[in-house]
Amino acid sequence: MFTTVSAGPYTIRGVSLGGLYTSLHVPELDAVFDVGLAPRQFAAARNIFLSHGHADHIGALCTLLGIRGLHRMPPPQLFVPAAISDEVDAMLAAFGRLQRFALPVVLRPMEPGDEVALKGGIFVRAFKTHHPVPSLGYQFVRRTQKLKPAYIDLPGPEIGRRRAQGDDLFYTQETPELAYATDTLLRVIDTHPSLLDTRVLILECSFLDDRKSLADSRAGCHVHLDELVPRAPEFQNEALVLMHFSQLYEPAEVREILARRCPAALRARLVPLLPEGAVWNV
């Protein structure tokens, strides 16, 4: 039903077909991104991140929460753009009344720049995306404590002694691990340039050729391959996962177009989220 790909150290499973449904699961981050569909395997994730309120990204949220309820799982954290927090809360309350079964969540309204600590030294940071409705992307960063270069040659006991007396020996190193940006203009890489250095970038690329013009793509606030290819050298990611392809294209066409149009250096790191067969399988 869904596709599984490896991108750097992460597993990305899910489905994304522009205008119909997008839902991705990254088990290493205990995270689901958008819920246009609700595969039962995704219900185990304790963190759900909604990019915006369009039905192809949020329409199966109540189903996913219902699956969790059937298994008596605790309420998940639900991260949403702050501008739609009240509407999402009202939707869940209305659906709970409709089915006589509550759908509890820990609601996390987010503004661009907001951060929340997750687990294992991972923090999630919201960033602005560019769509006609309130929308966000999410970037996951790992923070680790590193010994300052001035103290690197000190023996262990001396480091321990100085640390005990309160000396400032360490600095915080931040590594952008993974980011998710969908339903957005490509301008997002200018307004949030650290996306270009994130280990794994999941980015929409809805349109690939002249079946949809660049102008029309931008009018709908989506990414077109025509504008991504000229900027290929800027992407320093270990893996660039492209998704949210339009239903104008069959999976085999997507593969052929990407192979033909993308520079070799980018192709080597490109991971299209596509089913293995020649047609969409959902």
What residue numbers bound the domain in which 90 lies?
A: 3-272
Where is average pLDDT lowest: 80-94, 135-149, 247-261? 135-149
* Virtual torsion, Cα 61, 128, 3, 255, nearest 10 deg: 140
Indicate whether 220 pLDDT > 90.
yes
Residue 199 resides in a domain: yes
Where is average pLDDT lowest: 32-36, 208-212, 231-235, 276-280? 276-280
Neighbours of 198 (CB within 10 A): 26
State what percent of residues in the chain have pLDDT above 90: 85
> What are the phi and psi torsion angles at 208 (to 5°)?
-125, -15
Q: What's at 1, amino acid-wise?
A: M
Indicate whether 152 pLDDT > 80.
no
pLDDT confidence of residue 100: 95
Residue 207 resides in a domain: yes
Residue 16 resides in a domain: yes
pLDDT confidence of residue 265: 94
pLDDT confidence of residue 160: 74
CA dist 19 and 6 (Å) reads: 24
Q: Where are the alpha helices (DSSP H) in 48-115?
A: 55-58, 61-70, 85-99
Q: In the chain, count H helices and then E strands.
A: 9, 15
Residue 281 resides in a domain: no
State what percent of residues in the chain have pLDDT above 70: 97
Of residues 167 and 262, the one with the higher pLDDT is 262
Take residue 46 and report the two structure tokens written for it: 């304790």
Average pLDDT of the chain, as a whole number:
94
Euclidean distance between the first and final Cα of the chain, in Å?
6
What distances in angstroms separate CA 138 from CA 55, 112, 265, one per listed residue?
19, 9, 26
What would the mean pLDDT of 158-169 be, rounded to a whole number? Answer: 74
What would the mean pLDDT of 176-184 be, rounded to a whole number? Answer: 98
Q: Is 58 helix (H, G, I), strand (E, B) or coil?
A: helix
Residue 282 resides in a domain: no
Indicate whether 147 pLDDT > 70.
no
Cβ 108 vs Cβ 78: under 8 Å: yes
Cβ 143 vs Cβ 123: under 8 Å: yes
What distances in angstroms separate CA 248 from CA 19, 57, 160, 272, one per listed residue?
11, 19, 62, 16
Neighbours of 57 (CB within 10 A): 23
pLDDT confidence of residue 70: 93
CA dist 185 and 188 (Å) reads: 6
Residue 180 resides in a domain: yes
Reported residue count of the chain is 282
Residue 278 resides in a domain: no
Q: Among all chains, which residue has been given the structure tokens 């739609």?
A: 84
pLDDT confidence of residue 138: 99
pLDDT confidence of residue 169: 65
Number of domains within the chain? 1
pLDDT confidence of residue 279: 82
Q: What is the CATH number of the domain that holds 147?
A: 3.60.15.10
Indicate whether 139 pLDDT > 90.
yes
Residue 203 resides in a domain: yes
